[in-house]
Amino acid sequence: MPRSAAPLPLLAALSLAGAAAAGPDEPAAAAVHTVVIENLQFNPAQLAVHRGERIVWVNKDLFPHTVTADGRAFDSGSIAANASWRYVAGKSGSFTYTCTFHPTMKGRITVQ
């Protein structure tokens, strides 16, 4: 004799129990923001993030660049062509940065 399907109320209860296991109290994954380096520009040039979020600079130019904050709050060192550098925003404030190889390239991160 074939097994009968579980009654719909039981299935609904099991589904809700599974959803509760994920729980609303679990921390959300931190956001990741991308800044593209291309044509001697940071794009976007201004970015607002929250503490704990990650920023990734991706160099799409044919030559190296840096991401160097005024006062050296952060410094990527040389980022080769087709490479990237990651930074986790740990301190609140507004941080302007430049490429030390190309000082006309400027950007700003605001960390809330």
Domains and CATH numbers, the chain: 32-111 (2.60.40.420)
Going through the chain in order, the beta strands assigned E by DSSP cover 32-38, 41-43, 46-49, 54-59, 68-69, 84-88, 93-98, 106-111
- Contact, 59 vs 37, CB < 8 A? yes
Q: How far is CA 55 from CA 5, 10, 30, 100, 112, in A?
A: 49, 45, 10, 19, 14
pLDDT tens column, 65-94: 999 999 889 999 999 999 999 999 999 999
pTM of the model: 0.74
pLDDT band for position 44 (cuts 50, 70, 90) = very high
Q: Which residue has the tokens 């990741």?
A: 32
* Sign of the CA dihedral running 36, 85, 66, 54: positive
The pLDDT value given to residue 27: 52
